Structure 1
Amino acid sequence: MNALRLGISGKLFLAIFSTCMLVLITMHWGVRLSFEHGFVDYIKRGNEQRLQMLSSALAEQYEQHGNWDFLRNNDRLAFGILRSLEQNPDSSSQLPPHGWRTQFWIIDQQYRVLVGPRSPVPPEGSRQKITTSNKKVVGWVIGSPPERLTRSTDINFDQQQRRTSWLIVGLSTLVAALVTWLMARGLLAPVRRLVEGTHRLAAGNFSSRVEVGSRDELGQLAQDFNLLAGSLEKNEQMRRAFMADISHELRTPLAILRGELEAMQDGVRKLTPEALASLQMEVTTLTKLVDDLHQLSLSDAGALAYRKQQTDLVALVELVAGSFQSRFAAHSLRLTLDLPDEAPFFGDADRLMQLFTNLMENSLRYTNSGGELRVSLHQTGSRWQLRFADSAPGVEEHQLHHLFERFYRTESSRNRASGGSGLGLAICKNIAEAHDGTLSATHSDSGGLEITLDLPYLP
């Protein structure tokens, strides 16, 4: 059964070829029908013209002789007159070629046969009056109706046309098959490339790409396939990097915990409050990392709950800043606010406070003692722009575009020693995008990092 299944190439070939054959057969049938009827009509019109010319010539002969005695049973004279008409240049130019096709009779005014075969005169045959110059009808010329071909030359001509027609159909069939095959291959070449690329993609080869050879729907499909393959390849790279980063982040505190516990078991280190505090610190680091991973996974999956309502950005920033005042003062850091009276916004107050907390926590951890964090909020057109600008140390130019990637940390003082997991800014970015906003980073005027939160203005 599998051997009888046709692929899309065979189906397209059969569809186009069947259409071509249907058109060819219909045209052949129509041409043959038109030729047969047209040829008979052509013979009929030629015979009628000859009957008319013969009747005119016989009328002249009748006027010369005064009766039909000269013609009675004189078939030679009648055919001689007809041949003279065929050979006359003035008259033959008006006649179809190939001569007389059917039987004819010449009868007088009493309907007696003067010239003609012995068979009865057909009542439905073509009739031409023999009229003298004084409008007197002295007889008729009657021809049998040419319902079918009777002369061998006409039959041979018809058979030749029939053979030629079938020969044309055969040659046209071969040409149609060849052109259809080439057309099917050409049209399906992009489809075959897409099928092969899909097989490679399904097998895990995310670097698979297909050639875009046209600008039609198939070309657009090939472009979409390449975009899909690129997205899958990027996601696979991110997945591998994510797994490597998670294992790396978990290995360090676990290794410290294991070393501390083994040291206590071996008696190298005593079980003191300081040792327990060290273990508690590593457990806190692990707990913070797991919580951040959970928050990031929820925001990536769109499962992070958002309860949006009318709120005020100024009140939220002041509330978060108030909770950080004592900690900033303990680290000899200044926290200054430059805010308007109010900033109405439709969003989730808890998630926005989580975003502000992460950004202030980031500045608290990575800003050198004696520095400052300046938070400013301004309306620019139809957008709110909230800036968090801290002082030194800063980051390199090429590192700015990677700050919002998960587990990314610079090689300067902004490292694990400060307690960060590298997930806070990634979570902040997801929260900003959930509020139709953007989060960007640049260098601050005081030598540190400036992070700008851009949100839509909703009065």
Structure 2
Amino acid sequence: MLAKLRIGITAKLFAAILSTCMLVLVTMHWGVRLSFEHGFVDYIKRGNEQRLILLANALGDEYQQHGSWDFLRNNNKLVYNILHSLEQNPDANAQLPPHGWRTPFWIIDRQSTVMIGPRTPLPPESSRRSITTGDGTVVGWVIGSPPERLTRSADINFDQQQRRTSWMIVGLTMLLAALVTWLMSRGLLAPVKRLVEGTHHLAAGNFTSRVEASSRDELGRLAQDFNRLASTLEKNESMRRAFMADISHELRTPLAILRGELEAIQDGVRKLTPQSIMSLQGEVATLTKLVDDVHQLSLSDEGALAYRKGHTDLVPLLELASGNFRHLFTQHPLTLTLSLPQQAAQFGDPDRLIQLFTNLLENSLRYTDPGGTLHITLLSSSDGNLLHFDDSAPGIGDRQREQIFDRFYRADASRSRASGGSGLGLAICQNIVEAHDGTIVADHSAAGGVRITIHLPSKTH
């Protein structure tokens, strides 16, 4: 049972803070007690020393009046009257603490004979004040015992009362500290508990979970990061589901066509002719292109797509890629024009850059209406190279412009695969550009179509 008992972080924080408060309170209590006891004893000691001085002066005056000590021997009442007069004297009372003498004292003559006081040996560390006459002659001494500890019942009761009060204050302070510590620990750990609960929801697959960021401290920033993480996971999960749905849809159509044609040939509805074989090969080529695109996209997403970067020139790469498409553009028919500088130095992978240009040319070939145009512009500067691919109608809307680089997205959902492609070409283009630390954006073209703008920064390594 005890092995299964788990102490939460709230209880641990509460115990840590409360134990620290208790240690501080107990230490302060004992420090105050020691200071009070020593200070109280020193206070009594100073009062006794003042009384010794006053009593010695009073006895000196009495001795000078009587001429001997006969009036004082065994006359305790006279000494008490003198002490009482000292207490009643306003001038003396201002210098003395209350409650009178607190330790034994002795009065001895010049022969060290005890005249007043207990008939016990004089303490070795006693306070001694000489009794002198007007001409300075020493006629005796007043001796007081040092107050090493409290002896009077009134002082002991006062000390005990202070001790009880001190412990009561410590107890009440501990209760208050426990209450404040409990509230503080719950308040401080409330954001942590919300994060823990949110993490459990994420671990269970609930990516819609969010936590409240109610502060601007480290916990508040952690809650904000948690919400961003949950949002990213939710987006990735949505993209994963959409990707699986899209790829299954893309594979279903050519497979259905292949199955239908093969069944038709098998049932004898359609004869096995060169034309039917070419149709089957076309569907197989479509499947092959789709699988290759998915493979290329997965490699670029994982960073496993090989890039062999080096110093190259974009001008011959663009000329090579556009040359491969001139015959297709002529058949469509579309007009392909280029505005290129003499050279455009770039640090990158020539093969991947040609793949980038090929995908953009193929995208314009598929989506531009017959009789349209595609104009490629390359601007080279010290900051890098800027490319514009401007084609003619049809164009795209603002919402489509933001989604054009998404996987399996086609601006015209009604287009068939033959005209619309797999919808992965621009997503692969985006990964290639980002691998070269560049940017690619889509905008409206002045010719009525789409303008794809690519910026590739100039780097030497």
TM-score (norm 2): 0.97
1:37 aligns with 2:41: no
Deviation at 1:419, TM superposition (A): 5.0
Aligned counterparts, 1:25-424, within 5 A: 25-379=26-380, 382-411=383-412, 415-418=416-419, 420-424=421-425
Q: SS state of the match for residue 442, structure 1?
A: strand
**Cα root mean square deviation, aligned:** 1.4
1:228-274 CA deviation, whole Å, 9 max, x = no partner? 11000000000000000001000111111111111111111111111
| 2: CA distance, partners of 1:458 / 1:15 | 56
| 1: CA distance, partners of 2:171 / 2:450 | 81
Paired AA for residue 442 in structure 1? D
| 2: CA distance, partners of 1:433 / 1:18 | 56
Count of residues in correspondence between the two structures: 459
User: Which shows bigger deviation, 296-305 or 103-112?
Assistant: 103-112
Q: SS state of the match for residue 411, structure 1?
A: coil
Residues 211 and 371 (structure 1 numbering): CA distance in 2 closer, same or farther, change over 3 Å? same
Deviation at 1:120, TM superposition (A): 2.0
Structure 2 unaligned residues grouped into runs of 5+: none
Q: Is the 8 A contact 1:21 1:173 kept in 2?
A: yes
| 2: CA distance, partners of 1:173 / 1:327 | 88
| 2: CA distance, partners of 1:386 / 1:419 | 23
Paired AA for residue 120 in structure 2? S
| 1: CA distance, partners of 2:392 / 2:3 | 73
Q: SS state of the match for residue 46, structure 2?
A: helix
Paired AA for residue 298 in structure 1? L
Deviation at 1:399, TM superposition (A): 0.7
Q: SS state of the match for residue 130, structure 1?
A: strand
Paired AA for residue 113 in structure 1? V
Paired AA for residue 12 in structure 1? L
Q: Is the 8 A contact 1:109 1:137 kept in 2?
A: yes
Deviation at 1:397, TM superposition (A): 2.6
2:17 aligned residue = 16
Paired AA for residue 6 in structure 2? R
Percent of pairs identical after alignment?
Answer: 71
Deviation at 1:396, TM superposition (A): 2.2
| 2: CA distance, partners of 1:381 / 1:348 | 19
Q: Is the 8 A contact 1:409 1:415 kept in 2?
A: no
Paired AA for residue 219 in structure 1? G
Residues 389 and 413 (structure 1 numbering): CA distance in 2 closer, same or farther, change over 3 Å? farther
Paired AA for residue 55 in structure 1? A
1:411-445 CA deviation, whole Å, 9 max, x = no partner? 27865231510000000000000000111111111
Deviation at 1:68, TM superposition (A): 1.1
1:451 aligned residue = 452
Paired AA for residue 42 in structure 1? Y
Residues 3 and 98 (structure 1 numbering): CA distance in 2 closer, same or farther, change over 3 Å? farther
TM-score (norm 1): 0.97
1:105-145 CA deviation, whole Å, 9 max, x = no partner? 11111111111122222231111111222121111100111
Structure 1 unaligned residues grouped into runs of 5+: none
Q: Is the 8 A contact 2:341 2:380 kept in 1?
A: no
Paired AA for residue 338 in structure 1? S
Q: SS state of the match for residue 96, structure 2?
A: coil
Deviation at 1:89, TM superposition (A): 1.0
1:374-420 CA deviation, whole Å, 9 max, x = no partner? 11011366132101111122222321111100000122786523151
Deviation at 1:329, TM superposition (A): 1.9
